[in-house]
Amino acid sequence: MAVNLRICLFDKAAASNAALRQIFEELDDVTIVGHCAEWNVLQQHLQCGGLNAVAVNLDGGAEQPRFLTIQRIAEVAPDCAIIGISAETNPDFIIAAMRAGCSQFVRAPIDPQDLAAALERIRKRHLPVAEGCQQIAVLGAHGGAGSTTLACNLALELAHVTGRRMGLVDLDLQFGDIACAFDRAPKYSIADLCRGGVEIDRTLLETALDALPSNVSILARPENLEDSEQIQPDAVEQMLRGLAQMFPFVVVDVPRVFTAVTLGALNLSSRIFIVSQLAVPFLRNATRVYHSLLHAGIAEENIEFVLNRCNADHERIKPADVEKHFGRAVFAVIPNDYKHVTASRDLGHPIQASAPNSPARLAIRNLARRLATAHLGEEALQSERRGLLGLFRRKSGKKAAVGR
């Protein structure tokens, strides 16, 4: 059963634009809380709480005041989704609306199916979910993009901000680096689970997982190259479905090879992060990956772009250029911090432990907070109150260390 959405309509021409309200009234599982033309009225609705979304008519009037209204909505009710509605087709206008705070953009005249799809995305991404798992696939657009570093540290930050155990899977079955990133030598690997003919249950998964003191449990790639050839796609899918019953988030590091195994994992993912850097070879490959995913039947709304190792002072290409190229906002920008990230990788320590104030670490933490809030609700961000030591405390008299 779909979750009912409580929506307020904001339209400077509300008194004469009954058609806008009628379109929303014809949708199932939508309650229109208000239809207003003045900010002070909308503000009252926002402050009362309980709103899931605000639909803003962006046509008519000066451009900047319209975007200012979106910014004010985001400030007053940061957890409320914002739908921008406009007949404008200029990519710069759409990007500006998304930067201002719109999470969805629907073109006018409104196609009811487009609007229904936007509302469904809001249900998935903006309403707190009491149960269930969100699988995040991290896919590098080019060698050296930093996708494995992002996957490892994102899983750690999700565990940190929520205080819950997270799953981390190395699906680069031949040359994966996740175990190395934590200086681990797991006893079991994906090959032990997914050779075929093995019934994968929770007990078997718990045995195969390598549980880190940082509240992240990893499934490593096989030690021997030949073992990767025995892994069955159906078994990998069964494994991922089993992990979804154990964790609120499962982060999967996916190689840049489209096989039955990787495509199966991508199809199961709620979000796919294409990780790129601000350089032409990376962005060309990011474009190829993006179109290949769409061709493979991946829903466009599940694909996001993350720019890694960004240095705004030295790069010729800017994040705004990437947004204009793809016609959509970049999901996250991770600044370049070569010194701390390299040290973390070489020593097998998370960035949050060795350099807690690293710009890269803080950006990944903010990304984790955003994901956790959207999936679990604001109340899930409770671990941060206990501080970083809560993740690396001593357990049962044993020395707590991420690696060994």
| Residue 60 belongs to domain with CATH number | 3.40.50.2300
pLDDT at 286 (0 to 100)? 96
Contacts of 13 (CB under 8 A, 6+ apart): 37, 57, 60
Q: Select from 99, 126, 153 the last residue of a domain.
A: 126
Same domain, 142 and 254: yes
Does 395 fall in a domain? Answer: no
Q: Which residue has the tokens 């190792």?
A: 309
pLDDT of residue 357: 85
For the chain, how many structural domains are there in total?
2
What are the tokens at 284?
A: 């060309």
| pLDDT tens-digit series, residues 29-75 | 888 988 988 899 998 888 876 788 999 999 876 656 778 889 999 88
CA distance 167 to 153: 12
Q: Residue 268: helix, strand or coil by DSSP?
A: helix
Predicted TM-score (pTM) of this structure: 0.65
Which carries the bigger pLDDT value, residue 221 or residue 257?
221
Phi-psi region of 251 (alpha: psi -120 to 50; beta: other; left: phi over 0): beta
Most confident of 64-78, 89-103, 153-167, 221-235: 153-167
The mean-pLDDT minimum among 28-37, 283-292, 307-316 falls in 307-316
What number is the average pLDDT over the span 289-296?
A: 90
| pLDDT of amino acid 185 | 92
Mean pLDDT within 160-184: 93
Region 368-374 average pLDDT? 92
Kindly state whether residue 283 falls inside one of the protein's structural domains. yes
Same domain, 16 and 146: no
Among the ranges 129-133, 287-291, 342-346, 347-351, which has the highest mean pLDDT value? 287-291
From 41-50, 181-190, 336-345, 346-355, the region with the lowest mean pLDDT? 346-355
Note whether 133 and 245 are within 8 A (CB).
Answer: yes
Residue with the larger pLDDT of the pair 143 and 346:
143
Q: Report the percent of the chain where pLDDT is more than 90.
A: 45
**Residue with the two structure tokens 């992990």:** 243
Q: Which two tokens stand for residue 228?
A: 């990767």
- The DSSP bridge partners found for residue 271 are 136
Q: What is the mean pLDDT of residues 238-260?
A: 92
Q: Is 230 found in the same domain as 111?
A: no
CA–CA distance, 235 with 200 (Å, rounded to integer): 8
Residue 139: give its domain's CATH number.
Answer: 3.40.50.300
Per-residue pLDDT at 95 exceeds 90: no
Query: Do 163 and 30 belong to one domain?
Result: no
Residues 131, 232, 179: CA angle, nearest 5 degrees? 70
Among 91, 126, 161, which residue terminates a domain?
Answer: 126
CB neighbours of residue 356 within 10 Å: 13
pLDDT digits (tens, 9 = 90+) for 100-159: 888 889 999 999 988 988 888 787 654 433 357 899 999 999 998 999 999 999 999 999
Q: Are residues 51 and 185 in the same domain?
A: no
For residues 82-97, average pLDDT: 90
Residue from 271, 257, 269, 273 nearest 221 by CA: 257
| Beta pairing partners, 395 | 398
Predicted confidence at residue 394, as pLDDT, reads 39
pLDDT at 392 over 90: no
Sign (positive or negative) of CA dihedral 107, 111, 117, 118? positive
Task: Please check whether residues 337 and 200 belong to one and the same domain.
Answer: yes
Same domain (yes/no): 52, 168: no
Cis peptide before 128 (omega within 30 of 0): no
**3-class SS of residue 363:** helix
Q: What are 81's two structure tokens?
A: 């989704």
Distance CA 332, CA 147 (A): 13
Q: Residues 98, 172: one domain?
A: no
Q: Is the pLDDT of residue 390 over 70?
A: no
- Compute the average pLDDT of residues 223-237: 88
How confident is the model at residue 339, as a pLDDT?
Answer: 83
**pLDDT value at residue 190:** 94
Q: What does the pLDDT read at residue 3? A: 62
pLDDT band at 199 (very low <50, low <70, confident <90, very high): confident
Residues 243, 133 contacting (CB under 8 angstroms): yes
What domain range is 310 assigned to?
A: 134-390
Q: Are residues 46 and 140 in the same domain?
A: no
- Kindly report the average pLDDT of the chain as a whole number: 84
- Between residues 95 and 388, the one the model is more confident about: 95
The residue from 126, 152, 174 where one domain ends is 126
Residue 243 CA to residue 315 CA, distance in Å, equals: 40
| Averaged pLDDT, 18-32 | 87
Percent of the chain having pLDDT more than 70? 87
Burial-class residue 62 by CB neighbours within 10 Å (0-12, 13-18, 19+): exposed
Please tell me whether residues 117 and 154 are part of one structural domain.
no
Is 66 found in the same domain as 111? yes
pLDDT of residue 396: 40
pLDDT at 61: 64
